[in-house]
Amino acid sequence: MIPTITKKYQNVVISTGNIITTELGQRKSNEELYDGLKITLHTDPSAERVVVEKEIDQLHGRVQRATQELTTRLTENGRNEISIGAKIFLNRHSTECVNQAVEELLNILSVTHVDNVVLAYHPNAVASATPVATTKSPCSEGSTVSKAANWSQRNGKEGVAELKELYQTLEQYALKQQITQLGIADLDAAALEELHKSAQVAPTIAQVNLSTCCVVPPELQEFCTAHDIQLNTHSDPELLLPAEQFDGLAPGYTIDWSLRYQVHVRCRGVLTAKGYIVGASRSSD
């Protein structure tokens, strides 16, 4: 079961540690997160190694796994020799959640800055832990862009306004040089242009999900080229972990935000660390 320490807290933070040290590191993101949380939260009494690796921070309400091993991976090369990137997954409008995610990232990794942070905001996420690409490709329908790929249509003007507020929260970290580059995920060209116009710190990374859009929309490609935005592809689902799955791991708690971090050695491009951090809360009644 979930460590009893969390029963004392309204809010908890769970860190999977470096999942590359397990067999989890090269799987679909939703599978990596679920299994990473499982080995972090659920201890097998017969497995002494797992007990030793786990660390419970009573002061901050954190449950962390393999912190020493993660520290080793982060310090075996100089800070200027590694690149730290993160992606925040958020499904409700909360600037507090964005703040907490960035602060926990910096604290758990024990760094003063990270090289890039990408925000994936899906307030109307499809409640599925499996990426769309595992079923039927939208290419087979003879369409370049599926309905799911049109972020503006799905979330409307209110969604764009919320996204701007969330992005402004990240901008404050960029202005303080705690984040070097900002990025955004899954926006269509119209939403990206709207965000770009209002930004103090323009996004330099845009991610597009090829599980819902097998060809990058030309207008998005053109906008990114014109504004020096690096366009990358990904296959992360909009909702990394449905509520019912997380409730099975941490009964009574709901995920507020989650993030994935990756650490690369610059000169070789080698991935040396990868893990997930989750913020969760329980209802007060």
Per DSSP, the residues of the chain read ---GGGGG-SEEEEE---GGGTTTTTS-HHHHHHHHHHHHH---TT-HHHHHHEEEETTTTEEEE-HHHHHHHHHSS-GGGEEEEEEEEE-S--HHHHHHHHHHHHHHHT-S-EEEEEEEE-TT--S-SS-GGGS--GGGGT-SS-GGG-HHHHHHHHHHHHHHHHHHHHHHHHHTTSEEEEEEES--HHHHHHHHHH-SS---EEEEETTT-SS--HHHHHHHHHTT-EEEEE---SSSS-HHHHHHHSTTEEEEEEEEEEEEETTTTEEEEEEEEEEEEE---
Instruction: Decide if 263 contacts 273 (C-beta within 8 A).
Output: yes
Please report the pLDDT score of residue 126 as a whole number: 62
Please report the pLDDT score of residue 127 as a whole number: 54
Please report the pLDDT score of residue 9 as a whole number: 79
Entry pTM? 0.88
Please report the pLDDT score of residue 125 as a whole number: 83
Please report the pLDDT score of residue 3 as a whole number: 52
What domains appear along the chain, each with residue ranges and CATH number?
8-125+149-282 (3.20.20)
**Could you list the pLDDT tens digit for every one of the 285 residues in the chain?**
455 445 667 889 999 999 987 666 567 889 999 999 998 887 554 444 433 367 887 777 888 888 888 999 999 999 999 999 999 999 999 999 999 999 999 999 999 999 999 999 999 986 553 433 333 444 444 444 444 458 999 999 999 999 999 999 999 999 999 999 999 999 999 999 999 999 999 999 999 997 766 678 899 999 999 999 999 999 999 999 999 999 999 888 999 999 999 999 998 889 999 999 999 998 765
> Bridge partners of 65?
54
Compute the distance between CA of residue 196 and CA of residue 32 in angstroms, rounded to an integer: 32
Compute the distance between CA of residue 171 and CA of residue 177 in angstroms, rounded to an integer: 10
